[in-house]
Structure 1
């Protein structure tokens, strides 16, 4: 039996401000214009999964994920939200597994080559 009288209630929604800032989801919400704070050119503004936080992305530009810094890799979900895959544990584990497999395959090739020649 737990002591529930001294337990503080948790908020219904977590505070996403720090995580959103780390990911660059710092765009002003509508109705503010979606202009880049650095160059003043218009951008595409997307809501993020961090409630109340928005991100500005270059319009009509798609770049390979490996060319963007890890915390700046955004995808647009079918419902129109921008989602940063970096903080999601599943993608981190998948990336580590792919790296492990590639390393194992690379080493396997070296071992096979050495055993055939020796």
Structure 2
């Protein structure tokens, strides 16, 4: 295993540095199993997929599948028949194609990329979901006694 004190976001030194740089660039830096598939910033559970970059994982918004042409290039992720997530980059989507959204553009605690207007709505929804994680029952209830 790699040095645990290393600042490199991957567990072992890369065999193919270009692939790991590309994964970092695309945001495929999620912790792999057995770590839970949660965002380290907002603690929301996400769908985690392996990528074509060895040892690199991506968090995608759960239950969100949108028409590919509505997302800007380089934000379109599809799940291949092998269950691997693949970024379509600049490829023009086929008519009717649908894709997944990377959580990093919808995370309420990361700087908004604002490449896509729908991300603003997702960030707001995720902020509300994350806030509910920290609201304990009974807080803010009127005193009945």
TM-score band w.r.t. shorter chain: 0.5 to 0.7
- Residue 70 of structure 1 corresponds to 73
Unaligned runs of 5+ in 2: 1-14, 93-145
Q: TM-score, normalising length from structure 1?
A: 0.58
Counterparts of 1:85-100 in structure 2, within 5 Å, are 85-86=88-89, 91=91, 95=92
SS in 1 for 2:45: coil
Deviation per residue, 1:50-90 (Å, 9 max, x gap): 11100001111102224434222100001100000106xxx
In the alignment, is the contact (CA less than 8 A) between 1:45 and 1:54 conserved in 2?
yes
- Residue 35 of structure 1 corresponds to 38
- Residue 7 of structure 1 corresponds to none
In the alignment, is the contact (CA less than 8 A) between 1:44 and 1:58 conserved in 2?
yes
Distance, in Å, in 2 between the alignment partners of 1:36 and 1:69 is 22
Considering fraction of residues, name the structure with more helix: 1
Counterparts of 1:1-118 in structure 2, within 5 Å, are 14-15=16-17, 16-86=19-89, 91=91, 95=92
Deviation per residue, 1:22-48 (Å, 9 max, x gap): 111110111111102232111110000
- Residue 116 of structure 1 corresponds to none
Considering fraction of residues, name the structure with more strand: 2
In the alignment, is the contact (CA less than 8 A) between 1:71 and 1:86 conserved in 2?
yes
CA RMSD of aligned residues (A): 1.7
Q: TM-score, normalising length from structure 2?
A: 0.48
SS in 1 for 2:54: coil
Structure 1 runs (4+) deviating above 2 angstroms are 64-72
Unaligned runs of 5+ in 1: 1-12, 96-118
